[in-house]
Structure 1
Amino acid sequence: MPDQAEEVRQRIRKLLVGLFTDAQFLSAVPDSASLRQAGVSSNALVSLLVAMEDDFGFEWDDDVRPEVLRSIDSLAGHVLAVGS
């Protein structure tokens, strides 16, 4: 059975697939890779953050550290830290 962090990473990937039509591209992006360097635009990142709020049931703080938004791993870590 996958651990909680893996489940959160999979949910984030599903949200990303909803924003991008190229699921094969996303499957090639490692969880630790920079989303920006992988081609995720600022607009797409904002859309992902809104989708994460809806899916995980929390609100992003205005002062969230930029490194939290870097990768699927860092996003998942934040979700787990806020208790979702």
Structure 2
Amino acid sequence: MPDLASEEKQRIRALLVDLLGGDQFTTRVLDDVSLREAGLSSNALVSLLVAMEDAFGFEWDDDVQPEVLRSIDSLAADVATLRN
């Protein structure tokens, strides 16, 4: 059985490719690297969060902790938790 977190990471990477118009960003950013430090803008992060809501079928809480939004790893872990 595939690792759920791995599937979530792949889907998040695919959303980033769609949002950013190519895979240049995702091919150079590791799963545990800060998305902000890697160069993802605030607008792009908000767009990613909205796209994730649509793709995964949930809504982010208003009080989501900043560390959840840090990296692909942390986003995928939170999505896996929300979906269980």
Same fold (TM over 0.5): yes
- Equivalent residue runs for 1:51-70 within 5 Å: 51-70=51-70
What residue in structure 1 maps to residue 36 of structure 2?
36
Scaled by the length of structure 1, what TM-score is found? 0.94
Identify unmatched segments of 5+ residues in structure 2.
none
User: How far apart, CA to CA, are the structure 1 residues paired with 2:19 and 2:34?
Assistant: 17
- Equivalent residue runs for 1:13-32 within 5 Å: 13-32=13-32
Scaled by the length of structure 2, what TM-score is found? 0.94
What residue in structure 2 maps to residue 47 of structure 1?
47
User: How far apart, CA to CA, are the structure 2 residues paired with 1:80 and 1:64?
Assistant: 15
User: How far apart, CA to CA, are the structure 2 residues paired with 1:2 and 1:15?
Assistant: 20
Identify unmatched segments of 5+ residues in structure 1.
none
SS of the aligned residue for 1:82 comes to helix
The percent identity for this pair of structures is: 68
User: How far apart, CA to CA, are the structure 2 residues paired with 1:28 and 1:64?
Assistant: 27
Cα RMSD over matched residues? Answer: 1.2
Deviation at 1:19, TM superposition (A): 1.1
SS of the aligned residue for 2:63 comes to coil
Report the residue type matching 1:2 in the other structure. Answer: P
User: How far apart, CA to CA, are the structure 2 residues paired with 1:54 and 1:80?
Assistant: 15
4+ residue segments displaced more than 3 Å: none
